[in-house]
Amino acid sequence: MSSEPAVAPAPAGGEPNHLRRFLTLWLVASVIAMPLVIIFLGPLFGPSTGSEEAAGQQTIMTVLAAVATPVFMLVMLYLLYALLFFRQPRGAALEGPAVRGDPRLQTTWIVITTLIVLGLAAYGTYELEVHYGHGSGSGPNPLTAPSGPRLPVQVIAQQWLFTYRYPTMGDFETTQLVLPVNKTIEFQVTSLDVIHSFWAYKLGVKADANPGVSNIAFVKPTKLMSFWVRCAELCGLWHGEMTGRGRVVSPAAFIAWAHRQQRMLAPATKVLPKYSKTYIPEPAGRAE
């Protein structure tokens, strides 16, 4: 603190220079912790290999954790330091110095925290828009969309199952989710009844399903794998059981699968309503 040099040195024994001690402690701890966080904690932040979006999410989380580490260390170490070194000696009733503030320190703090925050916000916005929403449900009119061919997969959420409609592959609807690897998928997520949320963990995709709205999320799977899908918005009795498995397969296997589904589901496909972005339940839908 700036009051340090002006206060007369302690009468006996010499009070340690707390500021220097603490700052050193903090600097050392941060320098050690940051790489540890990046190297060891980072890979734990979610699945990273399933899609570009998932990989990006892990990177961003690692960056945020790394930036948060020195801030976190500062306060946490300070707490420990204060509780260890600024104690009332047993049985004493001493008072501390009556310091009420320090404009320079306060200004520095305000400026630094503001810069960190603005930086994080800019970084977050950039990452979000450059990656076309980063796997999030971006509404019916996303701000940015990937160029090039996209495979539309309509995710129809209902109580309590996700079904998937492939309008460009024969317009069939199925309970299985199969995706071709390395192709850009456009999920169009909508609901037939209440609010659900389509969450494909390993793909890094989450998009709420609202009735009457088509919520679009882009993803590019990059690995052959099976992944689970869960509902992430409380939708009633079986919300926790509204789960399923999806698969990412090679493009050839995908086309073969699509043909098989078309054949097997022909009776159901004949009676499906025409493909539409939303399927509004009958008006009011209450009285029978």
Partner 1 sequence: MSVMAKKVIGVALAVAVVGVALALYVADWATTFPPTVAASANPLSAGGGTRLTLETVGAVGHKYGSKPDWVSYLVRSNGQWVHSTIYKVPAHSVVHVTIYQFDSASGLRNPLFSQVQGTVGNTMTLNGKTVVSIPPEEPGHSFAIPELGVYVPLAGVNEEAKGFCEEGPCSPATQLHNTITFSFRTGKPGRYRWQCFVPCGAGFLNGNGGPMQTLGYMDGFIDVV
Partner 2 sequence: MSSTETPKPTPSAAQAASPKPLWRKLVGFNLLTAVILGVGGYYLGWWIGHQISSPTFAYESSTDENDVALLLGYAGGVIGFLIGMGFANYPVARLLGRPASLREKESEGIGRYFGLCTDHKVVGMQYLVGIGVFFFVGGANAMMIRAELLHDVPTILGPGQYLTTVGIHGTMMMGMMTSGILGPFANYFVPIMIGARRMAFPRIESLTFWLLMAAGFILVSTIFFGGFPTGWTGYQPLNDQAVAGMDSYICFFALVGLSMTLLGLNMIATVVTMRAPGMTWSRLPIFVWAVIGTAILMVLAAPTLIAALLMSSLDRSINTSFYIVGGGGSSYLFQNLFWFFGHPEVYILALPGFGIVLELIPVFARKPLWGYKLAVSGMLGVCLLSFFVWQHHLFVSGINADLRPFYMLSTELISIPTGFIFLCFMGTLWKGKISLTVPMLFCGAWAFNFLIGGTSGVVLSDVATDTQLHGSFFVMAHFHYTIMGGLIFSFFAAIYYWVPKMTGLRFNETLAKWHFWLMFLAFNSTFLPLFALGIMGMPRRVSAYEPNLVPLNTWVSISAFVLGFSMLIFIVNAVYSMIFARIPAEANPWHSKSIEWQLPTPIPVNNFDKIPVFDSDPYPYGTPLPVGGSQAAAAGA
Interface ranges with partner 1 (CB under 8 A) = 156, 158-161, 163, 173-175, 192-194, 236-238, 241, 244, 264-265, 267-268, 271-273, 281, 285-288
Chain centre distance of CA 99: 42
Minimum Å distance from CB 89 to partner 1? Answer: 40
Kindly tell me the burial class for residue 189, based on how many C-beta atoms sit within 10 Å of its own C-beta (0-12, 13-18, 19 or more): buried
Q: Which does 51 bind (CB under 5 to 8 A by kind): partner 2, partner 1, none?
A: none
Minimum Å distance from CB 236 to partner 1? Answer: 5
Residues 228-247 that bind partner 2 (CB under 8 A): 228, 230-241, 243
Residues 115-144 that bind partner 2 (CB under 8 A): 117-118, 120-121, 124-125, 127-129, 131, 133-143
Quickly list DSSP for 256-284. Answer: HHHHHHHHHTHHHHHHSPPP-S--PPSSS
Which of the 8 DSSP states describes residue 175?
A: S
- Report how far residue 55's alpha carbon sits from residue 58's, in angstroms, rounded to the nearest whole number: 5
Q: What binding mask, one character per residue, do residues 65-84 give for partner 2 by CB under 8 A, x or -?
A: x--x--xx--xx-xx--xx-
The owner of tokens 């959420």 is: 157
**Residue 288, number of CB atoms within 10 A of its CB:** 3
Q: Does 266 bind partner 2 (CB under 8 A)?
A: no
Nearer to partner 1, 132 or 172 (CB): 172
Q: Does 36 bind partner 2 (CB under 8 A)?
A: no
Angle between helices 103-130 and 52-85 (to 10 degrees): 160
| Window of 2-10, 28-36, 251-259, 268-276 that interacts with partner 2 by CB under 8 A | 2-10
**Is 126 in contact with 201 (CB distance < 8 Å)?**
no
Q: Pick the closest to residue 170 from 254, 249, 244, 245 (CA basis).
A: 254
Nearer to partner 2, 142 or 172 (CB): 142
Minimum Å distance from CB 281 to partner 1? Answer: 5
Q: Which does 71 bind (CB under 5 to 8 A by kind): partner 2, partner 1, none?
A: partner 2
Cβ partners under 8 Å of residue 92, min gap 6: none
Minimum Å distance from CB 225 to partner 1? Answer: 20
**Is 258 in contact with 169 (CB distance < 8 Å)?**
yes
Minimum Å distance from CB 89 to partner 2? Answer: 8
Degrees, nearest 5: CA angle 9-12-17:
45
Minimum Å distance from CB 165 to partner 1? Answer: 9
